[in-house]
Amino acid sequence: MPKSDKPVSTRSDKQSIDQFIHQVQKMPQKGGGQGRLIFALDATASREATWNQACDLQSELFLATRDLGGLAIQLCYYRGFREFKSTAFVTETGQLLNLMNGVSCLGGRTQISRVLAHAVRETRAQPVKAVVFIGDCCEEPVDELCHTAGELGMLRTPVFMFHEGGDAHARAVFQQVSKLSGGAYAPFDRNSPKILKDLMAAVAVYASGGAKALQDFSSRSSPEVKRLTQQIR
């Protein structure tokens, strides 16, 4: 199955990327208010077990932010033949669970580019504090993904790429997308649900309370959360 137009170099132009990130970090922060988060998942056939796991853990997104002003979450997913869906923003765990339970996984190619382009449109309409993406592979042109990730970086909408499995190509792409957007990359194993639970909670805290809240959360959390936090300083 084709993965990209050209291979990802693990020795890409690091200096240029770092200069871009520095430019983004100097831009003014978005205004306050209730945090909006896009929760995006790959719903192709290989993802069924982890989709079910995410359903079980989605309440962490809300529970972790109760004391920080709350969170509004939009479910976003792709599956099958170019099927891409996004829901309204919801503010209660029962609403999100009902939306997720109404989706079944269906075989198809990845559509990460549509997730990122959708996030750009949403945040131009009203600020989105963070995007969470959960997936295991990438079958799309890398440069297109990185370009849109850079747009999200300029808009100060970081993407947190949670990577299931050990696909080396996906790891390289996900790391570049997260870095260019100002977010973070984190691998996880579906057999260790606590890691995914902690990572989801950490991003929810960031989306609701910002970097300082994430630092406080990280200081009493798992090593995986500490590694994620270090990437977005």
Counting as low any pLDDT under 50, the low residues of the chain are 1-4, 10, 25-32
Cα–Cα distance, 163 to 158 (Å, whole number): 16
Residue 2 lies in a domain: no
In a domain, 33, yes or no: no
Domain annotation covers residue 30: no
Which CATH number is 151's domain given? 3.40.50.410
* 177/112 Cα distance (integer angstroms): 10
In a domain, 157, yes or no: yes
Residue 199 forms part of a structural domain: yes
The residue segments making up the domain with residue 159 are 40-231
| pTM reported for the whole predicted model | 0.84
Query: What is the rounded distance in angstroms from the CA atom of residue 128 to the CA atom of residue 143?
Result: 23
| Type and span of the H or E element at 147 | helix 142-154
* Structural domain contains residue 101: yes
H or E stretch covering 196: helix 193-218
Confirm whether 32 is domain-assigned.
no
Q: Across-strand partners of 90?
A: 73
15 part of a folded domain: no
Q: What are phi and psi of 90, to 5 degrees?
A: -120, 160
